[in-house]
Amino acid sequence: MKLSVCTLQRYAPNPHSCGNSGSVEIAKKLEQALAENRLDVALERIGCFGACLKGPNVKLMPAGKNWHGVSIDDVDQIIAYIKHQP
């Protein structure tokens, strides 16, 4: 499995982006939680999902599960979801 986190940072005139909304910190916490739970999931920081206004955005593949508007508080929920994947 692979967990993709958009960490793109945009600047004026269009500053809306996942990176500007805390996704870098979210990616760090997800990496830590994956390691602590010994989950065989690669975390990938990507440039853009094309849903900047819905961000921060996270996607689990191959399950195709998407999370939008993710915050640090959502990390435990994402990890719990991953734990229940076949």
Task: Write the pLDDT tens digit of every residue in 46-72.
Answer: 999 989 889 999 999 998 999 999 999
Which one, of 5, 60, 48, lies nearest residue 27 by Cα?
Answer: 5
Amino acid in the structure at residue 75: V
Q: How much is the pLDDT for 10?
A: 87
How far is 63 from 60, CA to CA, in rounded Å? 6
Q: Locate 19 and state its tokens.
A: 């990176």
How far is 60 from 81, CA to CA, in rounded Å? 10
Give percent of the chain with pLDDT exceeding 70: 100
